[in-house]
Chain A
Amino acid sequence: MDSVALRRLGFRLLWIALGVAFAFLVQWVALSSGQFNSNGQRLFFLAGLYVTLAVSLNLINGITGQFSMGHAAFYQVGAYTTGVLAAKFYSDGAGLASKYPLPWLIGMMFAGGLVAALAGFIVGLPSLRLKGDYLAIVTLGFGEIIRIIVQNQKSLGGSYGMDVKPKIDFIWLSTLLAIATIAISRNLLKNVHGLAFLAVREDEVASSAMGVRVTRIKIAAFLLGSALAGAAGALLAHHETFISKDTFPMDLSFIIVTMVVLGGTGSITGSTLAAITLYLIPERMRDLKDVPVSYAALGVIMLIVTVAFVRRTMEKDFSKLRTVKLVAPWFVSIVVVAVGGAALKNVGPLSKVIDGQQLRFVIFALTLITLMLLRPQGIFAHHEFSLQWLKKVLARFTKRSGEVAS
């Protein structure tokens, strides 16, 4: 081996070591901070899984451009595979799973990933003939079919659910899975195979004319994406110790799609950041028990007004103050909601309170609609978040206002 190859290998090992170290750091933070109880640790664990789900869906939706909406089904397949295997090899605390928890769990991630990849293969087949919204609906339909079949299988616990024993709980493993998913996506885009995926997204006919094997690429995207989601499901099963139809509601698929769309389809960092934000905000909202109607109603009204205003500015106004006009309405409306909500808190019917938890999905829905109306390509579009990108964006903003001024 020459020195270049050695150095490359060294760098690669260094990156892997850094990833593992980061995963343990997250676990250390989760376990050691006094303020985090077991619920707080669960937060860290699930955040890892959501990042995995979002980034793996981004592989199918964003990078390959095959709009899939049944991602929760693969997650579910992974979890139930683990559940069945664990039930087979668990004998009152003496089975394989209890003796060697870590190798068992890693094995389960592979098993869950494998079965989910098989499901992904079946779901991916129609993508060879369908595109756009039809594909979205078919994948949604497959997701529902898998859910209904699992619900009606006596051997899988039926509609009651099934126990998964023992409880194995490694926070670092979920973080590591997320890091691995990000690394796989990123490395894919950095080499020639990844270009083929992007080519399929941009133009199927042209890329097939250029010798890209479109069928293969689409199937590969589905296999890879669903396998990663299945591995996440395996981790979830042993963490929750009980899985049922309610663990994987239909809305879960929508949530994952929202994460990818919000971050920007095709942007790995975008999906990651969106997954963390969209997971943590609603979790924080669980603590919000009482929200007065005044805030919620004002919030919705101000959102509509702001969106209308910002859209108008985007379409028509190219004056010097454009940037200000795009940003200011948000601040104004936040202030209006905060002040107005507090002022109207005790007025008649507006004083009624809503359970904050019920607002979660309303917020998801509003986020989706607002985003599509203002920036349909997602926050980061297909760019990656980096310091260079940030500099470029800032430079563009300052340059534009400068030009108009001169």
Chain B
Amino acid sequence: MIHSFTDLLAGASLTTLPQQLASGILLGAIYALIALGYTMVYGVLKLINFAHGEVYMLGAYTALFVTWALGFTPNAPNPPEARVWMLLIMLLASMTVCAIVGILIERFAYRPLRNQPRIASLITAIGLSLLLQYGGQLVLPVSPPPSIDSKVNPFSDNVKFVLKQGDSALLTQAAGFQPKVDQAQAAFDAQLKSEKSQFDLSPRGEELKKALEDVKREQKVVTDSANASKVEITLPKGQLIMLGMVVALMAALTYLVMFTKRGRAMRAVSLDFNASSLMGINVDSIVTFTFIVGSSLAGAGAMMTATFLPGTQINTYFGVLPGTKAFVAAVLGGIGNIPGAVLGGMLMGIAEVIVIWLGYDAYKDALAFVVLIAVLIFRPGGLLGSAKVEKV
């Protein structure tokens, strides 16, 4: 039970906050990429594309298959050396496959229902999402859960940003423990040779073991306090590159939407579907184009998550939670609003990390829904959107 504000912060340590915020921004960048797909489709069709999370899942699987084709099969005797062009191929393949899936979904599931009540499209979207999840179980590799070989990633070394140096006295003290520990370990090892077994020690052996444990414990206490006194952010290089790519993709999207003819058509369709078709815009092709852009962004996000976040396991439910959270991010920013999706994604990523930082990681998946309900009740238009008045 929470009794006071200090209890709420019990699991958190302020010195780890910058690190957490950094991972929150990285997570948020991915959410933002997926949220863009939701928001753009909603913009032109006023439809929540529930199958978007599954498109993301298929993107991750595509990246996986490409690494297998490149020779990084599980248990391969000598996989080739990792190269940057491999990552580029993976990225392009994921984006292409997702774009194709997006086109197919729009053409065969949503277009026939465009004149029906919106709830029909919603149910179709749910059906599609279930179909891809459970149908995927039958045809895609799921067990043991595959993951992209970490050797594919040539950028796995860490980059460290030191925000505040640790207490130098504590650090030297901590470093000073190492010889003591080594000494005790050596003495114990020497004694162990004359012992019958590791588990049945003579009194002398017990004594040395206890001394070793004591010195190790002291070392840990001092090291912990030394570590707590410094503030730094450690990030794998790959994740920084991921952030850079997300920014680049978003810049490209901004250019596409704001400064090209197609982008202008897209904005027109989003403003008024019927009027823009009367003005000579080929609405069907714009809708297809929107699906291509949104789905390929999801594909890029999936490839980067699966490759750069170490230990990411892929299964057919891979897209459910990121999809839900990204959808909430889109609603939070104002659905249909492109900068809103980016803002919402970042906020969702940071909020999730902060909930974990506070020690409530069991509730991190409920957070998305709480935010969603709060937004819909108190500010239905989202942060950057404007709530429309329903006309009779």
Contacts and interface: CB of A to CB of B under 8 A. Distances in A.
A67 B362 contact: no
Interface in B99-132: 108-109, 112-113, 116-124, 126-128, 130-131
B134 A133 contact: no
A148 B365 contact: yes
B122 A136 contact: yes
Interface string A137-161: 1100110110011011000000000
Contact of A144 (B123, B127, B366, B380): B366
B131 A376 contact: no
Given A145-B369, A148-B363, A365-B130, A67 B119 contact: yes
A369 B131 contact: yes
A152 B362 contact: yes
A283 interface: no
Contacts of B169: none
Interface string B73-96: 000000000000000000000000
Contacts of A359: 138
A137 B370 contact: no
Interface string B362-380: 1101101110110011001
B48 interface: yes
A251 interface: yes
A364 interface: yes
A365 B128 contact: yes
A365 B377 contact: no
B376 A126 contact: yes
B279 interface: no
A372 interface: yes
A298 to B, nearest CB: 14
B137 interface: yes
Interface residues of A, number: 41
Interface string A354-371: 100011111011111100
B126 to A, nearest CB: 6
B18 interface: no
A145 B370 contact: yes
Contact of B134 (A130, A361, A367, A369): A361
B392 interface: yes
A358 B133 CA distance: 11
A358 B130 contact: no
A320 to B, nearest CB: 25
B135 interface: yes
Nearest to A128: B377
A134 interface: yes
Contacts of A257: 123, 126
Which of B113, B131, B327, B365 has the most CB atoms of chain A within a 10 A radius of its CB? B131
Given A126-B373, A141-B372, A141-B373, A358 B127 contact: no
A129 interface: yes
Contacts of B377: 126, 129
Interface in A312-369: 354, 358-362, 364-369
Contacts of B372: 137-138, 141
Interface string A276-296: 000000000000000000001
Contact of B135 (A134, A311, A362): A362
B118 A365 contact: no
The interface size bin for chain B is 35 or more
A210 to B, nearest CB: 14
Nearest to A144: B369
A254 B124 CA distance: 12
Contacts of B122: 67, 132-133, 136
Contacts of A149: 366
Contacts of B118: 132-133
B131 A372 contact: no
Interface string B117-160: 11111111011101101110110000000000000000000000
Nearest to A308: B108
B40 to A, nearest CB: 16
A261 interface: yes
A372 B112 CA distance: 10
A354 B138 contact: yes
B113 A376 contact: yes
A362 B112 contact: no
Contacts of B120: 372, 376
Contact of B130 (A142, A151, A368): A368
| Residue from B48, B116, B123 with most neighbouring chain A CB atoms (10 Å) | B123
B128 to A, nearest CB: 6
Contacts of B365: 144, 148
B123 A372 contact: yes
Interface string A3-20: 000000000000000000
A241 to B, nearest CB: 26
A142 B63 CA distance: 34
A132 B130 contact: no
Nearest to A131: B390
B119 A130 contact: no
A18 to B, nearest CB: 36
B131 A137 contact: no
Interface in B326-351: 327
A136, A145, A296 — most chain B CB neighbours (10 Å): A145
Given A133-B118, A369-B124, A364 B366 contact: no
B138 A358 contact: yes
Contacts of B126: 254, 257, 368
Contacts of A130: 376, 380
A121 B241 CA distance: 48
Given A304-B108, A367-B127, 14 more contacts: A129-B377, A133-B47, A133-B122, A141-B368, A141-B370, A142-B373, A149-B366, A251-B130, A358-B134, A359-B138, A365-B127, A368-B126, A372-B127, A376-B117
Interface of B: 47-48, 108-109, 112-113, 116-124, 126-128, 130-131, 133-135, 137-138, 327, 362-363, 365-366, 368-370, 372-373, 376-377, 380, 392
Q: Which 7 pairs across A and B sit closest by C-beta, in order of nearness?
A: A368-B127, A141-B369, A365-B131, A361-B134, A365-B130, A376-B120, A369-B127
Interface of A: 67, 126, 129-130, 132-134, 136-138, 141-142, 144-145, 148-149, 151-152, 205, 251, 254, 257, 261, 296, 304, 311, 354, 358-362, 364-369, 372-373, 376
17 contacts: A67-B122, A130-B380, A132-B122, A134-B380, A145-B366, A148-B365, A149-B366, A251-B130, A254-B130, A296-B138, A358-B138, A362-B131, A365-B130, A366-B131, A369-B127, A372-B120, A372-B127
